[in-house]
């Protein structure tokens, strides 16, 4: 089904595409040529028929299949997933280009309902698979190497076995999924439709968030206060969406007897709770030597007695405002990719040349950035809101890294290509690191180097510190919701409880900042997604340290890791590099890289 990864950055674009060159737009015809394309109608008909046929052929029989029959069953299921994924990718990507268009929203909703109805009879597949005895399944794997390839998928499915409900309840929850999707769409459409007025300029949320990076402090303050005003006007709607989504999750988790609200995410990420807890503890313990220390430096650079929230992403006084045209951004990123390995640039080139990127800011377009893999028989698509800031170049490097990863993993097939979120950020953050290091090497002055270092530290703080603070907020939100309905003030208090702790004593917080949880899409679309960013950044920092220490043969091992997709556990993937994420000291290695960059900035004082 269609699900998007969402961006880590909370400000990365402006309104208008002036002086940026020819920004690419998506060509979705590799999926379908039009909403009324005959191929789409044919695929829908095939999907309806094949789902019914699959259920008729296999329901109640899975435990009795031999290895060859089970392989055929799995391959038919994979073909169904591929066709459904292709349809929903087309509808979803088309919708995200213009979320305020009623026809596109209806098209997406209608297809989601159809496919939910078609696939409801297939719910038995995972339920019956979990009833097959371990010994019998092991014998099947021994007897059939092609079936054994799918063992990682079986393992992830069977990890849900303790939390499985009756067949009837599972089908009911499958059908009910479209209701949760409706709340997500309400959130998306509300966010996309918000209007802001800053000093007489009518802006959407992207343009207004972008002003938080403006060199003019008065402009930043005006934007922050306008964000607070509009969020306050809409906070009841956002509170209703958050209350409903967290309550729905609480009910489902309670029926499944899950030990915590985070359990489902940990299972889908194929990561142990203690590993996530070690990450969380390492990051929160590092707040003083990372974010607190950096923002104290920034306070001095800005010449302020106290920082306000609108100063968090302010450019440095010595930073010269510049707009980077699209072709220049492409050259920067592709040179960095080429310098690491020509194969990386070769894989990335079609994204620019074949309509696989939608870059410009347009009315109604979804905010932020993402890379969506679609299905393995097609190719990924990247969405940006590009307006020429240095951070937008890093966003391009980030999302293009996802795209490269998704292309390499596609050979695993539909069921094995999807990487758990914790590892899905590896190539994206690594792409950013390559681009940053290339730009740093090309710096022509101490001030340029300082600006680049500070920008990278801020990105890392946004990726690690801020996302773990988001994770703590979500943990508190879901825990509090179990005690009853939460008012906007309740949610705001939870939000503020993590902000001061993570940002540090340099900050004051304006009235209205307590509602800035409203616009973060992760909380609605993918509860507890956010720790994956911190996981990915820590992982890449450790990987990059290995690369710098011993570059010989690193590229081949790196490409092998990306090609593995979701076919291996993080322990297997990191072992060739001598790394182990289950070791608490692993996270200190990654956090040490951030601390080292801050050391370098302090030494420049």
Q: Of 294, 379, 348, which is closest to residue 605 (Cα–Cα)?
A: 294
Q: What is the arithmetic mean of pLDDT over 447-467?
A: 92
Nearest-angstrom CA–CA distance, 344 and 349: 9
In a domain, 595, yes or no: yes
Query: To which H or E segment does residue 382 belong?
Result: strand 381-383
Three-state SS at 372:
strand
Query: Does 446 lie in the same domain as 339?
Result: yes
Pairing mode, strands 196-198 and 201-203: antiparallel
258 DSSP 8-state letter: -
The Cα-based distances of 195 to 3, 223, 234, 362 in angstroms read: 26, 12, 11, 14
In a domain, 382, yes or no: no
Task: Find the length of the chain.
Answer: 605
Query: Does 237 lie in the same domain as 154?
Result: no
Confidence of residue 170 (pLDDT cuts 50, 70, 90): confident
Residue 5 above 50 pLDDT? no
Query: Does 471 lie in the same domain as 512?
Result: yes
Domain end call among 112, 142, 158: 158
CATH number at residue 96: 1.20.140.70
3-class DSSP string for 238-254: HHHHHHHHHHHHHHHHH
Is there a contact between 452 and 443 (Cβ–Cβ < 8 Å)?
A: yes
pLDDT of residue 291: 97
Nearest-angstrom CA–CA distance, 263 and 61: 30
Cβ partners under 8 Å of residue 199, min gap 6: 219, 222
The string of pLDDT tens digits covering residues 234-288 is 999 999 999 999 999 999 999 999 999 999 999 988 889 999 999 999 999 999 9
Q: Of 548, 549, 571, which is closest to residue 561 (Cα–Cα)?
A: 571
203 DSSP 8-state letter: E
CATH number at residue 195: 1.10.1370.20
In a domain, 26, yes or no: no
Is there a contact between 531 and 467 (Cβ–Cβ < 8 Å)?
A: yes
Query: Does 515 lie in the same domain as 460?
Result: yes
Spell out a b/e string for 275-296, using b for 16 or more CB atoms within 10 Å of the CB, else e.
bbebbbebbbebbeebbbbbbe
The string of pLDDT tens digits covering residues 112-148 is 999 999 998 998 999 899 999 999 999 999 999 999 9
- Evaluated on CA atoms 332, 337, 338, 339, the torsion sign reads positive
Q: Provide the token pair at 241.
A: 């969406």
Spell out a b/e string for 247-269, using b for 16 or more CB atoms within 10 Å of the CB, else e.
bebbebbeebebeebbbbbbbbb
Domain end call among 135, 158, 181: 158
Query: Does 327 lie in the same domain as 293?
Result: yes
Query: Does 130 lie in the same domain as 228?
Result: no
Confidence of residue 18 (pLDDT cuts 50, 70, 90): low
Nearest-angstrom CA–CA distance, 466 and 498: 9
How many CB atoms are located within 10 Å of the residue 65 CB? 18
In a domain, 324, yes or no: yes
Query: Does 394 lie in the same domain as 306?
Result: yes
The count of structural domains within the chain is 2
Query: Does 410 lie in the same domain as 298?
Result: yes
Nearest-angstrom CA–CA distance, 96 and 115: 19
In a domain, 11, yes or no: no
In a domain, 548, yes or no: yes
In a domain, 196, yes or no: yes
pLDDT of residue 284: 96
Nearest-angstrom CA–CA distance, 425 and 423: 5
pLDDT of residue 442: 87
Nearest-angstrom CA–CA distance, 413 and 437: 33
pLDDT of residue 560: 97
The string of pLDDT tens digits covering residues 529-572 is 899 889 988 898 889 989 988 899 999 999 999 999 999 988 89
Query: Does 230 lie in the same domain as 145?
Result: no
Nearest-angstrom CA–CA distance, 73 and 58: 8
Cβ partners under 8 Å of residue 300, min gap 6: none
In a domain, 317, yes or no: yes
Domain end call among 158, 187, 221: 158
- Domain residues for 66? 38-158
| Torsion of the alpha carbons at 358, 361, 364 and 366, rounded to the nearest 10 | 60
Q: Provide the token pair at 92.
A: 């979803």
Is there a contact between 143 and 71 (Cβ–Cβ < 8 Å)?
A: no
Nearest-angstrom CA–CA distance, 89 and 74: 22
Query: Does 187 lie in the same domain as 108?
Result: no
Query: Does 315 lie in the same domain as 220?
Result: yes
pLDDT of residue 17: 52
The string of pLDDT tens digits covering residues 378-421 is 999 999 999 898 889 999 999 999 999 999 999 999 999 998 87
Three-state SS at 357:
strand
HSE-up of 106 (CA within 13 Å, CB side)? 4
Nearest-angstrom CA–CA distance, 418 and 78: 13
pLDDT of residue 202: 93
Query: Does 485 lie in the same domain as 456?
Result: yes
């Amino acid at each position: 089904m269609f699900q998007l990864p969402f961006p880590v950055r909370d400000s990365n674009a402006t309104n208008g595409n002036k002086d940026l060159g020819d920004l690419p737009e998506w060509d979705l015809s590799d999926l379908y040529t039009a909403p009324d394309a005959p191929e789409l109608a044919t695929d829908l008909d095939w999907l309806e028929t094949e789902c019914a046929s699959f259920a008729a052929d296999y329901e109640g029989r899975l435990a009795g299949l031999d290895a060859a029959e089970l392989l055929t069953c799995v391959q038919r299921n994979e073909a169904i997933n591929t066709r459904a994924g292709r349809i929903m990718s087309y509808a979803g990507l088309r919708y995200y280009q213009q979320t305020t268009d009623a026809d596109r929203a209806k098209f997406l909703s209608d297809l989601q309902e159809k496919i939910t109805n078609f696939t409801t009879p297939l719910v038995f597949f995972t339920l019956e698979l979990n009833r097959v005895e371990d010994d019998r399944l092991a014998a099947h794997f021994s007897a059939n190497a092609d079936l054994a390839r799918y063992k990682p998928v079986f393992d992830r499915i069977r990890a849900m076995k303790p939390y499985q409900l009756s067949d009837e309840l599972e089908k009911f929850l499958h059908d009910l999924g479209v209701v949760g999707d409706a709340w997500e769409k309400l959130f998306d459409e509300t966010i996309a439709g918000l209007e802001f007025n800053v000093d007489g300029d009518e802006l959407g949320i992207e343009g207004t968030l972008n002003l938080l990076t403006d060199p003019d402090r008065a402009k930043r303050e005006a934007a922050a206060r306008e964000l607070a005003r509009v969020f306050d006007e809409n906070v009841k709607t956002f509170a209703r969406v958050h209350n409903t989504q967290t309550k729905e999750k609480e009910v489902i988790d309670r029926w499944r007897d899950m030990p915590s609200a985070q359990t489902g995410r940990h299972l889908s990420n194929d990561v142990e709770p203690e590993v996530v807890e070690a990450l969380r503890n390492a990051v929160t313990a590092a707040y003083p030597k990372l974010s607190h220390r950096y923002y104290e430096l920034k306070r001095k650079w800005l010449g302020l007695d106290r920082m306000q929230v609108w100063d968090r992403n302010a450019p440095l006084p010595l930073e010269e405002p510049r707009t980077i045209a699209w072709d220049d951004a492409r050259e920067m990123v592709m040179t960095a990719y080429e310098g690491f390995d020509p194969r990386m640039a070769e894989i990335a080139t079609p994204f620019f040349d074949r309509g696989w990127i939608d870059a410009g800011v347009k009315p109604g377009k979804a905010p932020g950035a993402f890379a969506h893999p679609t299905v393995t028989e097609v190719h990924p698509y990247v969405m940006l809101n590009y307006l020429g800031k240095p951070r937008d170049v890093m966003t391009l490097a980030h999302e293009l890294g996802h795209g490269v990863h998704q292309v390499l993993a596609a050979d695993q097939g539909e069921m094995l290509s999807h990487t758990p979120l914790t590892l899905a950020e590896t190539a994206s953050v690594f792409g950013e690191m390559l681009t940053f290091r290339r730009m740093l090497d090309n710096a022509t002055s101490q001030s340029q180097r300082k600006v680049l270092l500070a920008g990278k530290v801020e990105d890392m703080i946004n990726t690690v510190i801020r996302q773990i603070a988001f994770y703590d907020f979500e943990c508190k939100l879901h825990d509090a919701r179990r005690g009853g309905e939460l008012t906007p003030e309740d949610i705001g208090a939870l939000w503020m409880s993590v902000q001061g702790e993570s940002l540090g004593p340099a900050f004051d917080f304006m009235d209205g900042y307590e509602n800035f949880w409203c616009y973060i899409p992760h909380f609605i679309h993918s509860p507890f997604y956010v720790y994956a960013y911190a996981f990915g950044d820590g992982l890449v920092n450790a990987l990059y340290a290995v690369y710098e220490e011993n570059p010989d043969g690193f590229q081949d091992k790196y490409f092998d890791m990306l090609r593995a997709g979701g076919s291996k556990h993080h322990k297997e993937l990191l072992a060739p590099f001598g790394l182990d994420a289950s070791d608490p000291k692993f996270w200190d290695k990654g956090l040490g890289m951030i601390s080292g960059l801050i050391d370098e900035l302090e030494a420049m004082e």
